[in-house]
Amino acid sequence: MNIFEKLFDKKQTEQESHWKKHNDELSKVNYTDEVKSVLFGVAVGDALGVPVEFTSRQIIRKNPVTDMIGYGTFYLPEGTWSDDSSLTFCLAEALTQEFNLNTIGQNFVKWYHDNFWTPRIYSSGYVLHTLEASIWCLLTTDSFEEAVLRAVNLGEDTDTTGAVTGGLAGLLYGISSIPEKWLKKLARYDDISNLAERVADKSRQWVHP
């Protein structure tokens, strides 16, 4: 073995040692709060928007959303979320296992045919407009509550905009920023919490199988 091969082997060994140490450290990190921040953020923003979905911005401006309410557009109790949250939870459920696109697809089919991760309410929204609105809500507010209320009060596809904004704001501000009074009203709160914990547990296995 010549000098260059020895240097290469030494460098490779050092790098392998570095990444092993890095992965060992990452495997000890608990991501439960981060996952809960996103999943509960999505559900809260969604549930805030469901009662006023399809309501115009002009009408909402006269009577803005300031808290989680029930009934409204679909006459459903407060805390009810839509297909936006359902499909998010279907994806998260798939991520508790080994990554497999087929599993994700099967979960979506189960949602559609078997009410997997419901309550189910259909909605649709143009993706780019929703993302643009959600980012604007984040950039022009200073808290989770302000961001999701601003999103919902934009009107029209309120549940989708609220869900996307809620997920991003939850990740930005953390689970403790989401008002407890809203969390307690969510449908299937315990199931969402359990799902978040299972995703977090699986994330440690991705880093350190």
Overall average pLDDT of the 22-35 stretch: 73
Please state, in angstroms and rounded to a whole number, the distance separating the CA atoms of residues 146 and 122.
26
pLDDT in tens, 138-171: 999 999 999 999 999 999 899 999 999 999 999 9
Phi-psi region of 67 (alpha: psi -120 to 50; beta: other; left: phi over 0): beta
What was the pLDDT predicted at 31?
87
pLDDT in tens, 55-67: 999 999 999 999 9
What was the pLDDT predicted at 106?
96
What was the pLDDT predicted at 66?
95
What was the pLDDT predicted at 46?
97
HSE-up of residue 108 (Cα within 13 Å, Cβ side):
10
What was the pLDDT predicted at 26?
55
Strand, helix or coil for residue 63: coil
Residue 23 has pLDDT above 60, yes or no: no
> Where do the domains of the chain lie?
1-30, 31-207
Query: Which run of H or E residues covers position 144?
Result: helix 144-152
Please state, in angstroms and rounded to a whole number, the distance separating the CA atoms of residues 161 and 65.
14
pLDDT in tens, 73-128: 998 999 999 999 999 999 999 999 999 999 999 999 999 999 999 986 555 556 77
Overall average pLDDT of the 15-24 stretch: 60
What was the pLDDT predicted at 173?
96
Mean pLDDT of the chain: 87
Residue 25 has pLDDT above 80, yes or no: no
What was the pLDDT predicted at 203?
82
User: 31-207 architecture in CATH?
Assistant: Orthogonal Bundle (1.10)
Please state, in angstroms and rounded to a whole number, the distance separating the CA atoms of residues 152 and 34.
23
